[in-house]
Chains A and B, each alone.
Chain A
Amino acid sequence: MNQENEKYPSVKIGLEIHCQLTCLQSKLFCSCFCNYHGLEPNRNICPICCGHPGTLPLLNKAAVEAACMVSLALDCKVPDNITFYRKNYFYQDLPKNFQLTQYNAYGITSIGVDGRLDYGEKTSRIRRIQLEEDPGRLVYESGGVDFSSSYTLIDYNRAGISLVEIVTEPDFTDPKDVRIFLNKITSIIEHLGVCNTKRQGSVRCDANISIQGGKRVEIKNVGSFKEVEKALNYEIARQKTMSMHDIKVLAETRDWDDARKVTKQSRAKEEEQDYRYFPEPDLPTIVLDEEYVSSMRMKMPELPYERKNRFTANYELSEHIAQVLIDNKELADFFESAVKIYSSPKEIANWMVTEILRYTDEDIMEPKINSSSISTQSFSSFAGLKIEAKHVAELAELIDKNIINRNTAKIILTQIIKTGEMPSHVLARTEVLKIEDKVIISDAVESVFKTENSAVRDAKNNPNVANFLLGKVMKITKGRADPKITLNLIKIKLDGLN
């Protein structure tokens, strides 16, 4: 703790995480599709989300439920009622030139307040959680992010998508903690099933940072959680350098330039805007009674910490291994599917954590959060790998039954990942491994008996024939047949002949 303080003297970092509720069917205030990826521009729009005159917002019931669950999962208080406000400002990606949000300058009307999330030994407080709508997307004439074009192109497919914004208190002091925290929140959101965090653009994070009680700098346009950590480290260094030279740090917004790995003053300069918040007259205040909140609690899928407890209790996994699994929902799901097929939880978990994890791309496991491009891709930890739960289940079974040892299993694994074959299949065709299958050995014994007729006839009188035949079987099976079983089968067969 002390060491950290020296490293980052009075650093205060707060986060604003925007998460699209991608698992809904429709947008927040209209029935356009929530999933617009792959569509041509302006195909997923309607008079409401395009702000045509006379249209009214129609609040999505499932969005409120999802936001409520996020609030409960992050230990927030859910108020008796929630209100939407208009945040008034002009911009070409904003169809009504105001954004509907729960935030306002005058009081708390959001769906979650005063929460907390523990990560490791530390805690961060959640200030508030709110629902709001996403704006559209601006593209510039030249196609890239070039501010010198003579006109702008606008696509409103995204306008009106439901966002849950999670705002933390500035409780972070170390950028590394920020990354751990972000991964934890992502895991929770994944487990709740409200957002596919691996889809590009579905999770965005802005950070604000101040050092030694100085001005707050907001950092935007960060593409991934790894970059959030980098940007914060950069910013800390920048500000410390400035203070060493007695240069004042300005309160401003800075964009992260990933190519050059620096923060720079934001081009889209927002002056101290007066957003003129007032309650949205077209939406009544929504009453959330106790029954509603408790039904949301009941409806909530298993949360990461609950799942972890179940893993350690029911499957008797160690804390560490359980944690690694639940930190990535895909891994945890994979694990449980495998265990369903063959119940050897400790073995399977071990394999997942020590071997399989090595093959997955660490970067892919974290959400890509660059919001300016759209992509149909949803990244899976297992992208490009042909391994499935059934493979791991069978592998564990083979090990449990002593058919193969762990070293062999590792070799088989490399095959499976490339070809998707079942382990037993790999076993059958490769030459490294023990054969214990009585059928296979019987066949080998049969064929040896046929070719070594004279030896077989000698067996009555010569006790060494069995060993001799064993040697022949080992030869034709290239030494893989299990000697004990083979000898046994040979003896039985010899007895049968007599």
Chain B
Amino acid sequence: MDSRETIKYLCSLSKLEITEEELVKYELQIEGIIKYLDKLDSMTLSDIEPIFQERNSYLLREDNAKSSRTDLLEYTINKEGRFIKGARIT
């Protein structure tokens, strides 16, 4: 695995900006972690199906609507009128 390139790609996928120094620092550490996780390879579990939590369809939320008590815009710093401000598209 080309660590540097891979890490850069993963950072762009997860929108993380890291400095050159951080890249250098993380490279070995991340390689080490992934190598440790490779331990999972030593098991072949093709016929096991993972069990996940289940819930019956009757036990879901009733379809009732209500307005929020608080105006969430009060928790937003960047806004214009009633719109929330985001960065430009291109």
Inter-chain contact B90/A61, CB cutoff 8 Å? no
Inter-chain contact B64/A31, CB cutoff 8 Å? yes
Which chain B positions have C-beta within 8 A of A59? 60-61
How many A-B residue pairs have C-beta atoms within 8 angstroms? Tell me.
123
Interface size class on chain A is 35 or more
Q: Which of A53-87 contact B (CB under 8 A)?
A: 58-64, 81, 83
- Determine whether B17 belongs to the interface, using a CB cutoff of 8 Å to chain A: no
Inter-chain contact A285/B83, CB cutoff 8 Å? no
Looking at A26, A27, A140, A268, which has the most chain B CB atoms within 10 Å of its CB?
A: A26
Which chain A positions have C-beta within 8 A of B53? 284-285
Pick from A147-155, A299-307, A308-316, A454-462 the stretch touching chain B.
A147-155
- Determine whether A468 belongs to the interface, using a CB cutoff of 8 Å to chain B: no
Q: Which of B26-59 contact A (CB under 8 A)?
A: 52-58
Which chain B positions have C-beta within 8 A of A152? 85-89
- Assuming A152-B87, A288-B57, is B63 touching A60 (CB within 8 A)? yes
What per-residue 1/0 map shows which CB atoms of A150-172 lie under 8 Å from chain B? 11111110000000000000000
Inter-chain contact A285/B72, CB cutoff 8 Å? no
Given A42-B83, A60-B63, A284-B53, 10 other A-B residues pairs in contact with their CB atoms under 8 A? A32-B67, A41-B83, A46-B68, A61-B63, A63-B63, A92-B87, A153-B83, A279-B52, A287-B56, A289-B56
Contact of B84 among A42, A63, A292 (CB under 8 A): A42
> Interface size on B (CB < 8 Å)?
32
Return the chain A residue nearest B10 by Cβ.
A274
Inter-chain contact A284/B55, CB cutoff 8 Å? yes
Return the chain B residue nearest A156 by Cβ.
B84
Report Cα–Cα, A106/B15, bound state, in Å. 25
A127 to chain B, nearest CB (A): 23
Q: Which of A275-333 contact B (CB under 8 A)?
A: 276, 279, 284-289, 292
* CB<8 Å pairs between A and B, sample of 21: A26-B63, A27-B65, A41-B83, A43-B67, A43-B82, A46-B72, A47-B72, A61-B61, A81-B54, A138-B89, A151-B87, A152-B87, A153-B84, A153-B86, A154-B85, A156-B84, A267-B90, A285-B54, A285-B55, A287-B54, A287-B55
Which chain A positions have C-beta within 8 A of B55? 284-287
What per-residue 1/0 map shows which CB atoms of A18-31 lie under 8 Å from chain B? 00000011110001
Closest 3 CB pairs of A and B: A62-B63, A153-B83, A61-B60
Contact of A155 among B54, B64, B83 (CB under 8 A): B83
Report Cα–Cα, A101/B70, bound state, in Å. 28
Which chain A positions have C-beta within 8 A of B72? 42, 45-47, 50, 52
Inter-chain contact A61/B62, CB cutoff 8 Å? yes
A222 to chain B, nearest CB (A): 21
Report Cα–Cα, A58/B88, bound state, in Å. 32
Inter-chain contact A154/B56, CB cutoff 8 Å? no
Report Cα–Cα, A401/B84, bound state, in Å. 65
Which chain B positions have C-beta within 8 A of A62? 62-63
Inter-chain contact B54/A284, CB cutoff 8 Å? yes
Contact of A33 among B65, B85, B88 (CB under 8 A): B65
Interfacial residues, chain A to chain B (CB-CB below 8 A): 24-27, 31-34, 40-47, 50, 52, 58-64, 81, 83, 90, 92, 138-141, 147-156, 267-268, 274, 276, 279, 284-289, 292
- Assuming A42-B83, A140-B89, A153-B80, is B56 touching A31 (CB within 8 A)? no
B73 to chain A, nearest CB (A): 6
Which chain A positions have C-beta within 8 A of B80? 153
Return the chain A residue nearest B60 by Cβ.
A61
Contact of B86 among A151, A274, A288 (CB under 8 A): A151
Return the chain A residue nearest B84 by Cβ.
A154
Inter-chain contact B68/A32, CB cutoff 8 Å? yes
Inter-chain contact B61/A147, CB cutoff 8 Å? no
Return the chain A residue nearest B9 by Cβ.
A274
A470 to chain B, nearest CB (A): 70
Report Cα–Cα, A50/B72, bound state, in Å. 9
Return the chain B residue nearest A155 by Cβ.
B83
Which chain B positions have C-beta within 8 A of A150? 88
Which chain A positions have C-beta within 8 A of B66? 31
Report Cα–Cα, A25/B63, bound state, in Å. 6
Which chain B positions have C-beta within 8 A of A42? 72-73, 82-84
Which chain B positions have C-beta within 8 A of A63? 63
Which chain B positions have C-beta within 8 A of A58? 60-61
Which chain A positions have C-beta within 8 A of B84? 42, 153-156
Report Cα–Cα, A47/B72, bound state, in Å. 7
